Amino acid sequence: MTTRATELLRVVHARPGVTRADAARLIGVGTGATTELVGRLGQAELLAEGPAAPSGARGRPTTALIPHPRGPLIAATSITHEAWRADVVELGGGILATVGEELHGRGGNEVVAAIGTAVAELRTRFAGRIRGIGIAVPGTVSRDLMLDASNLGWHDVDLAAAWPGAEIFVAGNDATLAASAESHRGVAVGASVALHLRIEAGLGGAVVNGGQVLVGALGAAGEFGHMPFGDPAVVCPCGARGCWGTAVAGSALARALGHEQPRDPVSYARRVIAATDAAATDATATVAAALGRGIAGLVNGLDPDLVTLGGLGVDLLAAAPDRIEEAYRAGLMGFRRAAPPPVLAAALGDDGPLAGAAEEAWTALLTNLV
Ligand SMILES: [Zn+2]
């Protein structure tokens, strides 16, 4: 019975507003047993029922399953190169509150302390309903929750300080979490192999195989920005030469335009990509071509159904789709050109890492609820 209850909560989490009849079919139990389960989960303040959207079909009206108004919540947090944000997320992914602020050059421990203060306030505001935290970060996270973010100059930052003793505490790389979210709630739902690429201050991503993110032996897979698809004359902050990320991120635009390396690489890149003068348009086209070429290499190697682009990838796809497409097709093996895997803007856009952090934390919490 407990397993069925968890399955029912999973169904409602994946499809908030699902009708009781559809939920019964999806978990494979009869309507009577489902009614009893829904009653039990309602008493436990985990599920509630609301009116379903009219289906147009004849028959008895059914009800929609929705999160309970006093149900458990997750604090989903993301740190970017420029700001942090925390969302309070209910079953089904709905956001009930958002707080955040810019980093203003603060160090990692100070930022984690600020997040900790905000999360403690949210826990009070939501009367103890927040049961766990998920954090997306622009770096790598060790098993004991220590963060290394070389682009920010942060090393050995203790993420656990954001909520010592939390029942649920998950943390992960932003691009990896965005890939997971895109496969759960974005345009990659149902793909057999999805490749997600996220351009921020650097370029990262992940391969999602049958809904499972490929994390690697050390948990550091997906550093696609450090494949040598770039100019060997350029040294990357990682220590290698010719990294692809140095050819597609904001640093590449600054180099092409003869600007100093920007302190706010994402906002800077957005401004350049949106600009319409000839120099900015040329720099954007060069970067878009470098992106398309690298995507072709990854598609040749990984054979995905589709490629999703997040972060600045969305901006580049909107500003220079033809340059990306031309370089992508030119780099594809001949047999793929008749039907190349589509390169799509990530549906979750900039919210991908945060949505992924919420998803990871909710997945962990769901097994604790019944
Ligand atoms: Zn590198």
| Segment 254-273, tens digit of pLDDT | 999 999 988 888 999 999 99
The reported pLDDT for the residue numbered 58 is 61
In the chain, the percentage of residues whose pLDDT exceeds 90 is 82
Ligand 1 centre and the CA of 153: distance in Å?
A: 15
Between the CA of 161 and the centroid of ligand 1 the distance, in Å, is 29
Separation between Cα atoms, residue 303 and residue 194, nearest integer Å:
9
Point out the least confidently predicted range of 37-41, 262-266, 315-319.
262-266
222 C-alpha vs ligand 1 centroid, how far in Å? 12
Tell me the CA–centroid distance for residue 241 and ligand 1, in Å: 7
Distance from residue 225's CA to the centre of ligand 1 (Å): 6
Among the ranges given (43-57, 195-209, 284-298), the one the predictor scored with the smallest mean pLDDT: 43-57
Lowest mean pLDDT among 12-21, 57-66, 161-170, 205-214: 57-66
Distance 228 CA to ligand 1 centre (A): 8
Distance 286 CA to ligand 1 centre (A): 19
Expressed in angstroms, the distance from the first to the final Cα of the chain is 9
Identity of residue 139: G
- Quote the ligand 1 centre to 236 CA distance (angstroms): 5
Query: 204 alpha carbon to ligand 1 midpoint, in Å?
Result: 11
Q: For residue 186, is pLDDT > 80?
A: yes
CA–centroid distance, 247 to ligand 1, in Å, is 11
The predicted pLDDT at position 151 comes to 78
Q: 284 CA distance to ligand 1 centroid (A)?
A: 21
Res 56: pLDDT: 61
pTM for the complete prediction? 0.89
Give the mean model confidence (pLDDT) for residues 298-318. Answer: 97
Question: What's the 240 CA to ligand 1 centre distance in angstroms?
Answer: 5
Task: Report the separation in Å between the CA atom of 243 and the middle of ligand 1, taken as the mean of its atom positions.
Answer: 5
The tokens for 291 are 């992106």
Q: What pLDDT, on the 0 to 100 scale, is given for residue 198?
A: 95
Q: What is the pLDDT of residues 101-157, one digit of tens each?
A: 999 989 999 999 999 999 999 999 999 999 999 999 998 898 889 999 877 889 999
**Separation in Å, CA 188 to CA 85, 238, 307:** 25, 30, 8
Nearest to 179 by CA among 308, 312, 350: 308
Rounded to the nearest angstrom, the distance between the alpha carbon of 198 and the centre of ligand 1 is 15
Ion ligand 1 neighbours (CB, 5 A) are: 226, 236, 238, 240, 243
Q: Which helix (H) or strand (E) holds 209?
A: strand 203-209
pLDDT at 256: 93
The per-residue pLDDT for 218 is 79
Q: Retrieve residue 259's tokens.
A: 């600007």
In which residue are the tokens 């180099």 written? Answer: 255
pLDDT of residue 215: 86
CA 235–ligand 1 middle distance (angstroms): 8
Give the per-residue pLDDT at 370.
Answer: 83
Residue, of 56 and 188, whose pLDDT is higher: 188
- Distance from the alpha carbon of residue 210 to the mean position of ligand 1, in angstroms: 28
Q: Which domains does the chain have, with CATH numbers?
A: 2-67 (1.10.10.10), 73-177+352-369 (3.30.420.40), 189-346 (3.30.420.40)
* Contact by Cβ (8 Å): 253, 269: yes
Ligand 1 centroid to residue 337 C-alpha, Å: 30
